[in-house]
Structure 1
Amino acid sequence: MKAIHFGAGNIGRGFIGLQLVKSGYDVCFVDVNPELVDALKFRAAYEVGYAAEGMANETVTGVTALNSLTESQTVIEAIAEADLVTTAVGPALLEKVAPLIAAGISQRRGDHPLYVIACENMIGGSSHLEKLVGRETDVTSAIVYFPNAAVDRIVPLQRHDDVLYVEVEPFFEWVVETKQLPSDYPILKGVTYVDDITPFIERKLFTVNTGHAIASYLGALFGKETIAESLQDVRVRRGVQTALYETGWLLLEKYGFDAKTHSAYIQKNIKRFENPRIHDEIVRVARSPIRKLGPSDRLVKPARELMDRGIEANGLALGIAAALTYFDPNDSESSELKAFIDKNGIEETVVTYLDLRPDDRLSQLIMSQYVQMNDSVNSIA
């Protein structure tokens, strides 16, 4: 069986590619980084380590790679023959890989099905990718399925002498929706299959991603460098826990999750963030604040839904305000956001980027927290 995976970075190698190989696939990574591509071609293997005591490294074999910039035709031909295509490139780059996937689909012959799964931190990633591919080709010209997925594994930025070595946390979750798949869909090792993925996507987005983001923005506010360091600060920990119990209440209301089980899920994820063996830098987790502050993303969406139910989202408002204070001159979104705030003020920023009305109660909570943060960091504790 043949799989094409877009994105040979740490998540691609340390999570998706690893599970595909364990599921019996020959994996071809597609990337633009010539160093990674050349190393994968030459060695046809790499090593995965685990950020936990007593867990041995794993050697991943049966892999190769292609450069999508210089070998695009070969990538298209590989997709035309593949059984499975996965991505882990980031939501913004799906539009870059879509034309290659579309070209590969247009060259497929016969009735052999292709499964395309976008393994991205976004709701409806595969459906979004299907729309992008559909702009380039008629996806009904071949038997192609785009099941939505939710993925979760912390893979921090890291630097090793071996360019291919990657270290990951032991925990992972990969959930795939089956309601539009045929009965004989392929079974991947370690994947949970569900009829409706929405509850699982929102559980992950509003717990893991929300908590991670708030830990990063509050941590940056207090001068921390890593997520684990941030959680050692009682002010950050309190802010994260408050927000996650707010989102937890929302998830219980919407989907009927068991309260005791979900509380354990929250605490398990906070322990993941605290793992001292994972040097998860704030600059990695906090990057792209405009996307993370979007009206349908991990901070504003649950806050708005809570407020609509009559519950004040104080913890989430705190996290949103912290995100609005975040600045990294090396991050284009952070720079854009800061420049807009400096020029137009916080009220116009909330309207423009968060899609909230200035007279909304949520807007008032956010702006009040933001003003306090600017006046005195200690006043928010």
Structure 2
Amino acid sequence: MKAIILGAGRIGRGFVCELLLSNHVEVVFFDASDDMVKALNEKKEYTIHVLGNEELSTKVENVKAYSIHDIEQLATSWEESDMIFTACGGKNMPAVGETLGKAFRLLLEKGAVHTSNIITCENWIDPATDLKTAILETLNDEESKDVFEKNTGVSESVILCTGTGAPDPSKVVNEMDTWVQNLWYLPVDKSRILGDIPQWNHIQFIDNFGNLLKQKIYTNNTSVASVAFFGRLRGIRRVADAANHPDIEPLLDKVYEEINTALINGMGIDEKSQLEFSKNAKAKYTDYNIVDDVTRIARDPIRKLGPEDRLIGPLKMALKAGVQPKTIALATAAALYYQDPEDADANKLVELRKEKGIDYILATISKLEKDEEATKLIKEGIEELKQRGWIEGDA
């Protein structure tokens, strides 16, 4: 079997590639970065290092990579492949969908349409919906849309594994090498898959996928974002150092308490499942073997302050479930004061806060009214951060 991986970043060329190779699936990469494509083709090989377990590392050989903008090559590779995995970033699903739509039109012209499936591997809510919508919009005639619907499944997975940079960059020999957490499990929504279900190790096509993706984002992403925003205010560089810090770890535990209650009461998530989910999440972010920077986790703070994203989304859900999410609100306050000179989004946030104020940000970005409970809790969080000495006024 052959598969396409769209996105040759840490998750694509690391975690997803490793899972496919372990199932004897031939892989070809497509990436938006010409530099990435050039480097992969020049090196032709790289190593997927397993954090804390170097003996489990995998050498990837005979690497092939193409530009995602090469629509003809994408169509040719699709003609030969049964599966496409995306690891491009959730916000890029509309653009990726347009690209896939164009490639599918070429398949139609060549009479090469066959049963295939696209699986999103994104930290995003409803990425498969965003992707499929963009594909169908690109296929702007009903006949093409109908052929696509009958022959192509668009499903989604939940990425639980972390991909990072090198623990010691000075020792890197091949810049294409990547480092991943020792966690080999990818759950996929079985209900959206067309045709025969592959019998693969580590990749589980599950029934009742339901709210698993939202559960993951509102547990893992919310908690690690909280760690990152708190850690940045405390001047801590690494995620694990922040998660284990005596000022932050108690806050992390409270975040999990609020998230657990919100998801159990607000979404009907099984209590035992959710408690185990949050336990595993904390173990992951406090693991010193996983070397990750808080700036990578906290980057693009404006997006992370969106109305359904990892802070505001669970905060509102908690309130509806009768929970007072004071610690999530505190993390949101920390996000509002996030600074990183190398992050354009963070610089824009600083500018908005200084020129427009907190109420403006919460109203325009987070879609919160000035007098609603969530806004009040966040403002209380800002005052608490000032009392802790973690921020000073509007600096």
**TM-score (structure 1 length as normaliser):** 0.92
The equivalent of 2:49 in structure 1 is 49
Determine whether 1:151 maps to 2:159.
yes
Q: Distance in 1 between matches of 2:55 and 2:273?
A: 27
Q: CA deviation at 1:162?
A: 0.5
> CA separation in 2, counterparts of 1:35 and 1:111?
31
For 2:239, the aligned partner's letter is: I
The amino acid of 1:202's aligned partner reads K
TM-fit CA distance, 1:344: 1.4
Mean CA deviation greater in 126-135 or 371-380: 371-380
- Determine helix, strand or coil for the equivalent of 1:146: strand
Which residue is equivalent to 1:132? 134
CA deviation after TM superposition for structure 1 residue 318, in Å: 0.8
Tell me, yes or no, if the aligned pair for 1:157 and 1:281 is still in contact at 8 Å.
no
The 1:8/1:347 distance shift into structure 2, 3 A limit, reads same
Contact in 2 for aligned 1:174/1:190 (Cα 8 Å): yes
* 8 Å Cα contact 1:26-1:62 kept in structure 2: no
Asked whether the 8 Å contact 1:4–1:82 carries over to 2, the reply is: yes
Is 2:343 aligned against 1:326? Answer: no
**Distance change (3 Å), C-alpha of 1:35 and 1:336:** closer
Separation in 1, partners of 2:135, 2:112: 20
Residue of structure 1 in register with 2:378 after alignment: 366
Query: 8 Å contact 1:105–1:139 — kept in the other structure?
Result: no
CA root-mean-square deviation: 2.2
Deviation track 1:86-113 (CA, whole Å, cap 9, x = no partner) reads 1111122223322321122123235621
What CA deviation, in whole Å up to 9, does each residue of 1:337-359 have, x standing for no partner? 21111111111211111111111
Write the distance in 2 (CA, Å) between the matches of 1:217 and 1:144: 40
Could you say if the C-alpha distance between residues 255 and 23 of structure 1 is closer, same or farther in structure 2, counting changes exceeding 3 Å? farther
The CA deviation string for residues 244-264 of structure 1, in whole angstroms up to 9 with x for no partner, is: 111111222245545345334
Which ranges in structure 2 are unaligned for 5 or more consecutive residues? none
Structure 1 window deviating more from structure 2 (172-181 vs 206-215): it is 172-181
Cα distance in 2 for partners of 1:262, 1:101 equals 35
Q: 2:202 is matched with which residue: 181, 190, 199?
A: 190
Report the Cα offset of residue 121 of structure 1: 0.5
Structure 1 gap ranges (5+): none
Superposed structure 1 runs of 4+ greater than 4 Å apart:
254-258
Q: Give the Cα–Cα distance (whole angstroms) in 1 for the partners of residues 66 and 304 of structure 2.
A: 31
Q: Secondary structure at the match of 1:147?
A: strand
Match of 2:123 in 1: 121
Report if the CA contact (8 A) 1:177-1:197 is conserved.
Answer: yes
Tell me which residue corresponds to 2:364.
Answer: 352
Counterpart contact for 2:188–2:203, Cα < 8 Å = yes
2:347 paired with 1:335: yes
Give, as a single letter, the amino acid of the residue that structure 1 aligns with 2:103: G
Alpha-carbon distance between aligned partners in 1 of 2:30 and 2:195, rounded to the nearest angstrom? 29
The match for 2:95 is: 96
Q: Is the 8 A contact 1:206 1:244 kept in 2?
A: no
Would the aligned equivalents of 2:315 and 2:374 in 1 still touch at CA under 8 Å? yes
Judged with a 3 Å threshold, the aligned counterparts in structure 2 of structure 1 residues 323 and 226 are, in CA distance, closer, same or farther, namely same
- Report the alpha carbon displacement of residue 54 of structure 1 after superposing the two structures with TM: 6.4
Q: Which among 267, 271, 288 is matched to residue 259 of structure 1?
A: 271
Q: 1:237 to 1:303 in 2, by over 3 A?
A: same
Residues 30 and 67 in structure 2, CA contact (< 8 A), matched pair in contact too: yes
Structure 2 distance, partners of 1:166, 1:241, is 30
- Aligned residues with identical type, % of pairs: 24
- Mark the CA change 1:375 to 1:338 in structure 2 (over 3 Å): closer, same or farther: farther
CA-CA distance at 1:42 after TM superposition: 4.6
- Letter paired with 2:130: H
Q: Give the counterpart letter for 2:228 in structure 1.
A: S
Structure 1 counterpart of 2:147: 141
Other structure's SS at 2:229 match? helix
Secondary structure of the 2:64 match is strand
Q: State the one-letter code of the partner of 2:83.
A: L
Q: What does 1:167-206 align with in structure 2 at a 5 Å threshold?
A: 167-182=179-194, 184-206=196-218
C-alpha distance in structure 2 between counterparts of 1:182 and 1:63, whole Å: 28
Query: By how many angstroms is 1:43 displaced?
Result: 5.0
Does the aligned pair in 2 maintain the 1:29–1:66 contact within 8 Å? Answer: yes
